[in-house]
Amino acid sequence: MTARPFPVAVLGLGLMGGGMARRLLAQGFPVTVWNRSPERARAPGLEGARVAVSPADAVRGAAVVIAMLATDDASRSVWLGPDGALEAMEPGAVAIESSTLTADWVRALAGEMAASGIGFLDAPVTGSRDQAGSGALKFLVGGDAEALARARPVLKALGTDVEHLGPIGSGATLKLINNFLCGVQVASLAEAVAMIERSGLDPVRSLALLGGGAPGSPLVRAVGQRMLDHTYTPHFVVPLMAKDLAYAANAFGAAGIDLVSARAARERFLTAAEAGFEEQDIASIVEPIRDIPSTKGEPG
């Protein structure tokens, strides 16, 4: 017999958190939501959720609490700040930090959770807006097996894969490696698309050939098509990738690896944000490159 869904709180209703909350509601979980901007709690698909006035209010009575936030600072504020979630969590509950954060902060947060007797998982995800809403995320989990067992029904409702990688910090580390690779690939793809267009090649045919060859990947095919279509409805917004590349550079640097490519890629995302694409999809970083005047035919 299938166990009755238990109460879940979702902290943060951006593209990912909002999609996760809608998916849990559709799967029959009683859901409470909180977001710093309350209007996001009134988005379509969230009508069945209880809307909390603070993180502490959101987690009262919840068996599992999922946070999907932008930065270390946002995570620290939501869990430990005034009216923070941790102080109000129920004994025996499990906290899941699914944001893309630094491993140092995740480990520090795990210590706070342990001191309060709360189970904790470091469980960022791969996938974007569409996967969050359809239950097709992949969870990269750090933490102990007992906490994972308690949280697994929620994770399985949200994802197709739950990969237990090791102790706390494992998920955060692999997620930064993942996003470093994605960010560098998107930046190089934007430069390639601009060159294709400026060279007079057929963009559709050229991108199909690249996507079907050695450089091809699901990311190249999906993001490349959005670049060609000038379609920038957010799947993953520009400033978050810039943030992730900065976090990755710091993490790699601490291990003695200089992320030269990440610094160059991050400049593309920062330039796009400054050019007015701050709230747009990462595919939009191609636009400032398109706008750079060509030097073809000019005297040297």
Structural domains present in the chain: 8-166 (3.40.50.720), 173-290 (1.10.1040.10)
Q: Is the pLDDT of residue 98 over 60?
A: yes
The percentage of the chain sitting over the pLDDT mark of 70, rounded to a whole number, equals: 96
Give the residues across from 281 on adjacent strands.
237
**Chain mean pLDDT for the chain:** 95
Torsion angles phi and psi, residue 278, rounded to 5: -60, -35
pLDDT, tens digit (0-9, with 9 covering 90-100), for 141-164: 999 999 999 999 999 999 999 999
Q: Is 175 a catalytic residue?
A: yes
Tokens 């902290």 — which residue?
11
Q: What is the pTM of this model?
A: 0.94
Report d(CA 273, CA 275) in Å as an integer: 5
Catalytic residue among 138, 156, 175, 296: 175
* Predicted local distance difference test score (pLDDT) of residue 294: 65
* pLDDT score, position 299: 47
Nearest to 51 by CA among 87, 11, 85, 107: 11
193 pLDDT higher than 80: yes
Q: Span 23-32, mean pLDDT?
A: 97
Q: What is the pLDDT of residue 80?
A: 98
Which residues make Cβ contacts (< 8 Å) with residue 164, sequence separation at least 6? 141, 143, 145, 148
